[in-house]
Chain A
Amino acid sequence: MNDFAQSFATALDLITAADAVLVHTVALSLGVSGAACLFGAGFGLLGGAWLAVARFPGHRALVTLLNTLLALPSVVVGLVVYLLLSRSGPLGSWGILFTPSAMVIAQTILVVPLVAALTRQLVGDSLRDGGDQLRSMGAGALTCALLMLLHDRWAVLTVLLTAFGRAIAEVGAVMIVGGNIAGVTRVMTTSIALETSKGDLALALALGIVLLGVVGVINMLIGVAQRGRGSALAGAR
């Protein structure tokens, strides 16, 4: 218990001191995972919506594959992306291994199946309710799916928050493709891993608390924005 109390105190000290290295590390975490979430949202929302409307031979197999990818270990994604981006690999000429770009790519790959699978479920359920009506009103398959994304926007937001959580909390992928280089690719989770392996458990835990705190503040801001939308766009159940 003493460890936890000490760590909380350390966390508060770190935050108030706003040490430059810490600020940079937090900013990089948010930037990499935020970017991955945005790209993941783009591919995942469209992919999931398309899967909800499209029907073709092999559709069920694709959905099974997608659901399986939900369990992709982050370290496996990191390894695959490393092999792709390595100088000896097919995309070596891009020269982005051990840079934040590689980390964004790895986390995007991690996040897309999550967003797609959940979106497919959401949109599929809504289409069962109102697909006929929208079709009858003249909406094509893709338009139906996009309208349902608008219809389910709060659920979609939760999906994106889940994706962001998955990205910012993972350490396996960014460690391998980023290399945990101080000041360049060191993010919160890899810092925590490093301090743990150095035996500085109190600091590691404190960094963990800081990370949770930052994500907590972001969620609070989203909550405030949600309540502020009492306008015509906000829907009742």
Chain B
Amino acid sequence: MNSATLLRLTDVSVHFGPVRALRHVGLQVNRGDFVALIGANGSGKTTLLRLLHGLVAFDGSREVLDATATQVMVFQRPFMLRLSAINNLHVALWLARVPSAERAARAAQALQRVGLAELRDRPARALSGGELQRLALARAWAVRPQILFLDEPTASLDPSAKKEVEALLAGFAAEGMTLVMSTHNLGQAKRLATRVVYLDQGTVRVDLPTDRFFSKVAGASSDARADLFLKGALTWTLE
């Protein structure tokens, strides 16, 4: 069953105690999409990502239309066990029930893919920010997920590390992976995404293909707040 839609959220709300993190959100993730979630801090981007991945309790409907589509999430600060880089990959492969005969090869291949082959035996927690992010991507890619969720993957990286990570993500998308990524960086969204979703105070205000999303900036936008956000942000984050 090769449906185009992989995940569908309908009228979903999430609250943590008195705080309403998401309100009546409707969203669809289709095969081959590269969705960028943008919005101010506290707008609900991380909660939405975690909800899509199935980590959060909610009201409403979350349909997984292709149950075989494996999902992996890369968190903002990736957690690595106190093991070497390659052993962290081994653990991920083991948890994903990859047959033991294939694990060594897939682990080495994944490190190669992200350019960390020489650091295979380095303690994972001793890696630099950019190396850590790449290791997290290797860990995700080794498992060959259909959907990859990323929470602000380049937020704490310097420009060159940022470029390396963006190149990897573009490569994954080209290989057919579906990606959903939250980001502050509008230029990044414009460069990588096929679709941009703007979140404000827990609701989806705008959900458009990338070129249509950004062209609306020049003209009148259907959403005044989105317009303000884009205008306000554009002056300092478009790189």
Contact of A133 among B78, B83, B96, B143 (CB under 8 A): B78
Establish whether residues A234 and B81, one from each chain, have CB atoms under 8 Å apart when the complex forms. no
Min CB distance A70 to B, Å, is 27
The answer to whether A136 and B121 have CB atoms under 8 Å apart is no
- Taking the complex as formed, is B124 at the interface, i.e. its CB lies under 8 A from any CB of chain A? yes
Which of the candidate stretches A23-31, A95-103, A146-154, A184-192 sits at the interface with the other chain? Answer: A146-154
Number of cross-chain contacts by CB at 8 Å: 62
Query: Are A151 and B82 interface neighbours, CB within 8 A?
Result: yes
Residues of A within 8 A of B82 (CB): 150-153, 235-236
Q: How large is the interface on A (under 10, 10 to 19, 20 to 34, 35 or more residues)?
A: 20 to 34
CB-CB under 8 A from A133, the residues of chain B are 73, 75, 78-79
Please indicate the chain A residues that have their CB under 8 angstroms from the CB of B206 in the complex: none
Nearest A-chain residue to B79, judged by Cβ: A130
Contacts of B55 in A (CB 8 A): 132, 135-136
Indicate which residue in B50, B86, B96, B124 contacts A137 across the interface (CB closer than 8 Å).
B96
Cα distance, A135 to B73, chains bound together (Å)? 10
Judged by a CB distance under 8 angstroms, whether A237 is at the interface is: yes
Provide the residues of chain A in CB contact with B123, threshold 8 Å.
232, 234-236
Q: Mark B46-83, 1 if CB is under 8 A from A, else 0.
A: 00001001010000000000000000110100110111
Binding site for A on B (CB under 8 A): 50, 53, 55, 72-73, 75, 78-79, 81-84, 86-87, 91-92, 95-97, 121, 123-126, 143
Give the interface of A toward B (CB within 8 A). Answer: 129-130, 132-139, 143, 147, 150-153, 231-237
